[in-house]
Amino acid sequence: MSDDLRRRLTLFATVLGSSLAFIDATVVIVALPTIERDLDLGLSGQQWVLLSYSLALASLYLVAGAIGDRVGRREVFVAGAVGFAAASMLAGLAPNAEILIVARLLQGVAGSLLTTNSLALLREVYGRDAGRAVGLWTALTSVATIAGPPAGGALVEWVSWRWIFFVNLPLAAAAVALALLGRSTHREEHRVGALDIPGAVLAATGFGALTYGMVEGAEGGFGGLWWAFVLAAVALGAFLVVERRSSDPMLPLELFRRRNFAFANLETFLVYAALGGNFVFLTLYLQFLGFTPFEAGLFSIPTSVIMIALAARFGALADRHGPRLYLTAGPVLIGAGTLLFLLLEARNDFWTFGVAGLVLFALGLAMIVAPITATALSSAPEQYAGIASGVNQTVSRLGNLLAIAAIGLVITLVFEAGGGTEEAIALARGQRDPELRAASIDAFRAGMVVVALLAFAGAVVAALGISNAEAARVKQSEAGPAAA
C-alpha cells in the first residue's frame, strides 16, 4: 500500500471521527423534546444533556492533545473512537436522565480525544501539505454537519431518538478501521515523558469552570456565577505557574514565543468569536423578520456549500504562497459581509443585501478556516502537534462562547435603551409593536457591528503578526518527512 493511499485513509478516518463529535454537539437539540417526554428530563435536565457534552469538550482539549503527544496521536484517536462508541451505546440504552447525562459527559471526553488528535494526526502525516489536508477535512466534515440534523430528525420522527446514538457505532468502527489501515510506514513521532497530572487537572478545572460560567451566564445571567469565574481565574493562574516551573510541562509556554503560533491563535479567538456571534444572532434575526425556523436553518447551506467547494483550494494556496494574505483577506470579507446584514429591515431585504452578505461571509470563511488551523499547528514543533491542536481548539471554542454571551448582552442593553420593556424580548418572533420592532432592529445592528469589529481585528492581527517567512522555514523543515 502506497504512502499516499495511507495518508488518504488517515484523512477519511479523521473526517469520520471528527464528524461524530461535531454532529453529536447539535443533533441532540433536534431530539430533546422527544427525549424529555420519554425520560421526564425537565428544563434543567435538557440543559444538562447539552451542557455536559460541551463542558467535557472545552475542558479537555489541552489534556487530550498532551496525551496524544506522549502516547501517539493515532493510538489516542482510535481510543477516542472506541470510547465514543461505548458512550453512545450507553446513551442509547439510558433508562433515565441521570444515565443519559453521564453518557453525554463521557461522549464529550471521548470527543475531545477524537477532534484534537484528528488535526494533530493530519499535521503529522501530511507535513508541509497540512493546509490542503485540513481544508479537505473541513470540507468533508461540513458535509456531515449539514446532513446530521436532518438525518437525526428523521431517526427521531420515524424510528427512535435512541438511534441518534446507536448510529454512531458503525461509524466509529469504520473510523477505527481506516485509522489502523492508514498507519504510516515511517515512524510517527511523539513526545517522551510522563503526563503533567497537576497541569492537566488545573487546565481541565479552569477551562471547565470558565465554560460553565459563560454558558450558564448567557442563559440566566452572570450575577450568581461569580464563583465560576473566580475558580477559573485561580485554576488557570495556578496552571501557568505549574507549567512555568515544570521540567516536562503539558503546555510548554515557549510555544507562544513562536510568532505564527501566538498570532494564529489570537486571530482564531477573534475570528471564531465573530463566527459564533454571527451564526446565533443572524439565525434569530431571520426568524424575527418572518422566516420560519426551517427556512432560517436552510440559509446556512449555501455557506457550507462554498466551504466544501473552496476550503481545500485555499488551504493548498496558503501552503504554496504563505498564509498571511488569506488570513488577512478572509476576516475582511467576513466583516464586510456582516456589515451588509445591517441593511436588513424586512423579509424582502434578505434576497438582496442578505444574499450578498452571505456570499461575502462564506468566501471569507472558506478563505481562512484551513490556513488558520494549519498555521497554528505547523508553527509548533511536530512533537507538540497534539498540544498545539488542543490550544487552537480551546481558543476557538472559548472565543465562540464569550462572543455569544457578550454580544447577547449588547443586544439586550441596546434593546432596552431603545424602548424595550422587561417583559419584551429582543429579536422575538412575531414582534409587531412598532417601537419594540425598531428597538430589536437597532439591537441586532449593534450586535453585528461588534461581530464585524471582531472580524476586522482578526484581519489586523494577521496583517501585522503572521509571517510568511516563518511559515516557509517550517515548510522547508518538513520537506523531508513529507517526501518520505
DSSP labels for 257-323? GSHHHHHHHHHHHHHHHHHHHHHHHHHHHHHHTT--HHHHHHTHHHHHHHHHHHHHHHHHHHHHH-S
Question: pLDDT band at residue 81, thresholds of 50, 70 and 90?
Answer: very high
For 92-96, 236-240, 377-381, 440-444, which range has the lowest pLDDT when averaged over its residues? 377-381
Can 1-194 and 254-484 be said to share one CATH topology?
Answer: yes
pLDDT at 133: 82
Say what the pLDDT of residue 111 is.
92
Residue 390 contacts residue 111 (beta carbons within 8 Å): no
Contacts of 322 by beta carbon, 8 Å cutoff, 6+ apart? 468, 471, 472
- Model confidence at 189, pLDDT cuts 50, 70, 90, reads low
Cα(236)–Cα(228) distance, integer angstroms: 12
Higher pLDDT, residue 477 or 460: 460
Q: What are phi and psi of 380, to 5 degrees?
A: -95, 150
Q: Give the residue-averaged pLDDT of 361-377.
A: 90
How far apart (Å, rounded) are the C-alpha atoms in residues 46 and 438? 33
Which amino acid makes up residue 482?
A
Q: Would you mind telling me the total number of residues written for the chain in this entry?
A: 484
d(CA 252, CA 464): 24
Cβ contact 12:125 at 8 Å: no
Give the three-state DSSP class for 372.
Answer: helix
Q: Tell me, what's the pLDDT at 450?
A: 96
pLDDT at 42: 75
Is the distance from CB of 276 to CB of 401 less than 8 angstroms?
yes
pLDDT in the model for residue 264: 94
Calculate what percentage of the chain has a pLDDT beyond 70: 92
| Measured distance CA(25)–CA(13) in Å, rounded | 19
CATH code of domain 1-194: 1.20.1250.20
Query: Across all residues in the chain, what is the average pLDDT?
Result: 85
Q: How confident is residue 54, by pLDDT bands cut at 50, 70 and 90?
A: confident
Residue 173 has pLDDT above 90, yes or no: yes
For residue 187, is pLDDT > 90? no
In this prediction, residues 157-175 reach a mean pLDDT of 90
Q: How far apart are CA 208 and CA 259, in angstroms?
A: 28
Is residue 214 within 8 A of residue 162, CB to CB? The reply is no
Single out the residue of 20, 7, 15, 266 nearest to residue 130, CA to CA: 7
Q: Which residues contact 131 (CB under 8 A, 6 or more apart)?
A: 315, 316, 318, 319, 323, 370, 371, 374, 375, 378
Residue with cell 493546509: 131
Q: Domain ranges in the chain?
A: 1-194, 196-249, 254-484
Say what the pLDDT of residue 484 is: 32
d(CA 141, CA 370): 12
Q: Is the pLDDT of residue 389 over 50?
A: yes
Quote the percentage of the chain above a pLDDT of 90.
34
Three-state DSSP at 345 gives coil
Q: What whole-number distance in Å separates Cα of residue 3 and Cα of residue 186?
A: 9
Phi, psi of 284 (to 5 degrees): -65, -40
pLDDT per position as a tens digit, 7-24? 889 999 999 988 888 777
**Rg (alpha carbons) of the chain, rounded to whole number:** 22
Instruction: Say what the pLDDT of residue 41 is.
Output: 77
The cell numbers describing 357, all together, are: 452578505
pLDDT tier, 140 (very low <50, low <70, confident <90, very high otherwise): confident
Q: What is the CATH number of domain 254-484?
A: 1.20.1250.20
Summarised one tens digit per residue, pLDDT across range 398-420 is 888 788 878 888 888 898 888 87
Least confident range from 11-20, 140-149, 301-310, 365-374: namely: 140-149
pLDDT the model gives residue 218: 60
DSSP 376: H
How many degrees, rounded to 5, is the angle at CA 315 between CA 312 and CA 320? Answer: 130
8 Å CB contact between 174 and 180: no
Highest mean pLDDT among 143-147, 190-194, 303-307, 353-357: 353-357
Poorest-confidence range of 54-68, 97-111, 346-360? Answer: 54-68
For residue 481, the model assigns a pLDDT of 42
Top pLDDT among 184 and 469 is at 469
Q: List helix spans (H) across 42-96.
A: 42-71, 73-93
Q: Look up residue 3 and give its amino acid.
A: D
Q: In terms of C-beta density within 10 A (0-12 exposed, 13-18 middle, 19 or more buried), how is residue 229 classed?
A: middle
pLDDT in the model for residue 266 = 96
Q: Return all residues near 167 (Cβ < 8 A) that are at least 6 apart.
A: 155
pLDDT digits (tens, 9 = 90+) for 91-135: 999 999 899 999 999 999 999 999 888 888 888 888 777 777 888
The identity of residue 253, as a single letter, is L
3-state secondary structure of 462: helix
> Which tens digit of pLDDT belongs to each residue from 415-464?
888 887 667 778 887 888 888 899 999 999 999 999 999 999 999 999 99
pLDDT of residue 480: 47
